[in-house]
Structure 1
């Protein structure tokens, strides 16, 4: 009979859940908030204690897995909208079942003594160094697959944007659009267009005129304390910039539009 160490069980499933949440965030282009992801991963680790329970019927395991997934996705990414939440949920469940299916397949094929699969929970009785190397290898492989998928799908470039208003920091995804030539009329500073719901209580003393194929209009804007952007391992900063708020950005993948050329990349 395999001896199960609870501390190893919790640590292994914490990192497995965190990996699945990171993949879900990458696939659905959701901001990765470390605290929320870690809280969700801890909840996932706590659920792994179901491995210590007597063997449960398959339908109970499936329903409990879905119920826990509902909570984990909500904890990691919030609700936002029904469409966004369901997309995150489906991606997380798909990644979960693929990973579990792979592990169960290996377990059924080779019957390794150091792997225990029960009630959809997984336990690896392996040295810490081996677990770390396997986790890193799995993460790198997942990122490579994701990059190939994004290249094949021809997705538009999205950047991780952080706007520091001085009172708080707002993180979101921004569409990299070199056609965004908006400028603040007095200073000539570049303008980032963001969804108004990101800054519900922000005072916007500046007015930015704009012109599109569909007509002309005005956007109200404010000058943030600092704006930074991340694209993979690259980090970009910008000097004077304004953030204009719009009601017309209604996309599940991004909440702002920015010209990537305005940033100085490190």
Structure 2
């Protein structure tokens, strides 16, 4: 039994797919894109894939696996250099390749993929993977902004999940101190556990859709902890949210953490 291999078509198909996989990997790990290095890495990967395909009759499955792994390492080194997290980037490229291959094998059950149809199916798979990566990156970015926060007011101590909001630039008009926002129910708990009378301050605010006056109090301590650091703030200003809290009962000011 034998089959014909058109090396030129095989090379072009692999060139396109390798370039697509490298761009997806760069997006996933937020690496800079250099067109020349991506093209060089894709050419190297495509040539290697052609050699593996031509020699598959004499190479064992283990040999093909090791060969594909070597190509992933080579392509990563050419495209991104031997920098920090190199092994993780190789694993990411290999995973992208695995997912892309699974998508194409599934599609091949319904329609024979070759030539332009193969490239179109690969492009669709790339768009799908890119969309999944966007969801993953957005989720990761939000997790980095979520902080376990302890609020201390007199004898009352609350631990809440706060969101470091890059859009919250609210400040006290007198002291210019940053002001965070807390759900009304939690503010009532804080004040209820405080034996001293705290004088509220009226702070004007304005958003795209509304404006008004917020009631703010200066509590004793705020301890903020996220993935990279822990910060303790003395006498911070906390204002009552203008409406009920959504997912996060505490919205932190954007300048409270160095990051």
Q: TM-score under structure 2 normalisation?
A: 0.49
Q: TM-score under structure 1 normalisation?
A: 0.48
| Greater radius of gyration (CA) | 2
